[in-house]
Amino acid sequence: MDHRPRTLADRLPQFPWDRLAPYARKADVHPGGRVDLSVGTPVDPVPPVVRAALIEAADWPGYPVTRGTDALRAAALGWMERELGVVGDPGVLPVIGSKELVANLPTLLGLGAGDRVGYPVPAYPTYEIGALLAGAEPVPTPFGELPDAASGPAPRLIWLNSPANPHGQVLDVAQLREAVAWARANDAVLVSDECYVTLGWEGVQPVSVLHPSVCDGDFSGLLALHSLSKRSNLAGYRAAFLAGDPALLKDLLLVRMHGGMIMPGPVQAAVAAALADEAHAREQKERYLARRGVLRTALLAAGFRIEHSAAGLYLWATRGEPCWETIGALADLGILAAPGEIYGPGGEQHVRLALTATDERIESAAARLAALR
């Protein structure tokens, strides 16, 4: 008999990337080694300006402030105004990486049994996990659509993700305005995950939900989530922030203060330096653009069809077959990709390939894909 007490883990599915383990082992035996395009983890150096700020702030013996230093908050506001066109006075709250926030936000907002959390599918799996951790009901909705009133009570929390992970679709201003109006009509908190908002390709310019063309300068009920993991190669720093409705952020600040959920002080200094410097971000974006061109050309030549992928860090590719068959074929070439199935409905015949690999590994993957022609 199992006498283990029930825990939160009992609510959760298997960690999705664990299912890739046998394919990773297969890719590892390729003579050229594994090309891992399955996870979007940065591989390029942390910018010198950021490392210098971290080192300068390393002697930080006291507790940092949960609300963020004045320098961090000013840098975030300045960056949003310069790069995203956000004006006015939104609140800012640093968080310990964007995934922590996505997984915990339903709980931090007080959601629980009987509440619903809406999110777009195919989707970053942590939207669903956050609902499950809180004991709320996940409500997957096709990308670009809003929950159907006939399907049950309106969700109290709605996630947007534009540009979207895994497929790179972008919501236009009209779609964002519709989502804002829907959330306000249904008394829901609307949170836009904008981690890839500066990575638009092919003439696409993603728009923040906090832009005046979307919210008319009214931030009430709205939050935007930003990450420095990809923009500044700071995944290892766990550096992100929320911006938007000051009243909502005041409530979240109180909960986070009680819970000790604080970004380390030296990391706050590094974030402020990163947000104040666009040169390194432009350089990194050019790296991703070049890698995207190499990988996209090779996939198309190998018979793949790339759908959406107008923005973000991934190519959403299909051969019109079950995704696990494609994963197996790629693993035979030493290439590891992410199966679309783990992102929910709509991904069953797709694979996601990340641009976060070195130039050499991307070139190697492109050369290997020629074997599929």
In a domain, 10, yes or no: no
318 and 255 within one domain: no
176 and 213 within one domain: yes
342 and 292 within one domain: yes
What pLDDT, on the 0 to 100 scale, is given for residue 30?
94
Contact 246, 216 (CB under 8 A): no
- Domain containing residue 114: 48-276
Least confident of 7-21, 151-165, 265-279, 319-333: 7-21
Q: Locate 135 and state its tokens.
A: 């004991």
Q: Edge to edge, what strands does the sheet with 222-227 contain?
A: 91-95, 240-244, 222-227, 189-193, 157-161, 116-121, 137-142
CB burial class (10 A; 0-12, 13-18, 19+) of residue 170?
Answer: buried
230 and 139 within one domain: yes
In a domain, 96, yes or no: yes
- Domain CATH for 31: 3.90.1150.10
Half-sphere exposure of 196 (CA within 13 A, CB side): 27
In a domain, 1, yes or no: no
In a domain, 321, yes or no: yes
Overall average pLDDT of the 95-110 stretch: 96
225 and 127 within one domain: yes
| Number of Cβ within a 10 Å radius of residue 228 | 25
336 and 215 within one domain: no
What does the pLDDT look like over 177-222, one tens digit per residue? 999 999 999 999 999 999 999 999 988 899 999 999 999 999 999 9
312 and 262 within one domain: no
**Domain boundary, last residue among 276, 292, 324:** 276
Strand, coil or helix: what is 184? helix
Q: What angle do CA 123, 229, 119 make, to 5 degrees?
A: 20
In a domain, 365, yes or no: yes
What does the pLDDT look like over 217-238, one tens digit per residue? 999 999 999 999 999 999 999 9
| pLDDT(356) > 90 | yes
247 and 178 within one domain: yes
Give the count of domains, the chain: 2
Q: What are the start-end ranges of the H helices in 170-316?
A: 173-185, 212-215, 246-259, 265-275, 279-301
